[in-house]
Amino acid sequence: MDNRGLLEAKDSERKCQIAGCNDLTVGARTSLCRKHRNNKYKQNYKKKKRKAQGAE
C-alpha cells in the first residue's frame, strides 16, 4: 500500500486554515498559524471588552 495519501493529509492539517496562508500551525486545538491565532485572540478580546462596557 502507498502511504503518500496519509502523509499529504497530515501535512495539510499542519497548515494554517486561512486561505492563502501557508504557515505551519502552532496550536493543537486550532489549525491557525501564530499570526492568525493572535489576530483572532485580539478580536475576541476587543469584542468581550465592548460587551462589558455596554453592560455598565
Q: What is the full per-residue pLDDT of the chain (56 aa) written as tens digits?
A: 555 554 555 655 689 999 999 999 988 888 999 999 999 999 999 999 999 987 66
The pTM assigned to this predicted structure is 0.62
- Give me the number of domains the chain comprises: 1
Q: Is residue 24 included in any domain, yes or no?
A: yes
Whether 18 maps to a domain, the answer reads yes
Q: Quick check: is 56 in a domain?
A: no
- Report the pLDDT value the prediction gives residue 24, as an integer from 0 to 100: 92
**Interatomic CA distance for residues 40 and 7, integer angstroms:** 29
Residue 35, in any domain of the structure: yes
The string of pLDDT tens digits covering residues 33-44 is: 999 999 999 999
User: Among 44, 40, 42, which residue's Cα sits nearest to residue 17?
Assistant: 40
- What domain range includes position 33? 13-48
pLDDT at 27: 81
Residue 4 within a domain:
no
Please tell me the predicted confidence (pLDDT) of residue 53: 86
